[in-house]
A = this chain, B = another copy of it.
């Protein structure tokens, strides 16, 4: 079972930058009951919809996922991007309060919520993992409140780049999995503003854009100065 899951690990670069795989699965044999099922999604596939019954909690194996909310007129807020190792879809009530979509081709592990709850006693490790995940989700959301409420467009971009650089393993060269639209909807901006801020940072020699989605953070100190 363990090996079956392991062999499904793709050899793509996305998987190569994933956090240590042993973190993604319970270490002890007793937790095999809670082992989730691996699922693959293509770019822009819906993983779950807002309002849908929240039957699973997910962990990203490779690729990237966005969770978002919509206003009736279509305005969108992406609350978070989820990278390999990240857990998403944790709910206290019955239904999801977000929509989750694959940003690129990606793989996730789906854990049955009912199983997790029934395991509260037996598998401390996995349950605790989800508790930690929930707390991390909260911390990120709260930091993001400050960004959305009080930072300028340029500061938002700087914070975003630094945050991604910490979460993606690659050194100072970022390979963004998401589009400008996704970035804009995450930072409360428009794609044009995102583009102009990136251009401005490049003109200031703070970053270098090898391609639209391949960005070198040449001057992290300058970014940090914009960060707060």
Contacts and interface: CB of A to CB of B under 8 A. Distances in A.
Given A77-B149, A92-B139, 13 more contacts: A69-B146, A71-B151, A72-B228, A75-B150, A79-B145, A92-B136, A134-B134, A134-B135, A141-B141, A148-B148, A148-B149, A148-B188, A150-B188
Chain A interface size band reads 20 to 34
Contacts of A79: 142, 145-146
Contact of A77 (B98, B134, B145): B145
- The DSSP consensus for interface residues of chain A is helix
B146 A145 contact: no
Interface of A: 69, 71-72, 75-77, 79, 92, 97-98, 132, 134-139, 141-142, 144-146, 148-151, 185-188, 228
A157 to B, nearest CB: 14
A77 B75 CA distance: 23
21 contacts: A71-B146, A71-B150, A71-B151, A72-B228, A77-B145, A77-B149, A77-B150, A79-B145, A92-B135, A92-B139, A97-B139, A138-B141, A141-B141, A141-B142, A141-B145, A145-B148, A148-B149, A148-B188, A149-B185, A149-B187, A149-B188
B141 A76 contact: no
Contacts of A69: 142, 145-146
A204 to B, nearest CB: 20
Contacts of A97: 139, 142
A71 B156 CA distance: 13
Given A77-B149, A139-B92, A139-B97, A71 B228 contact: yes
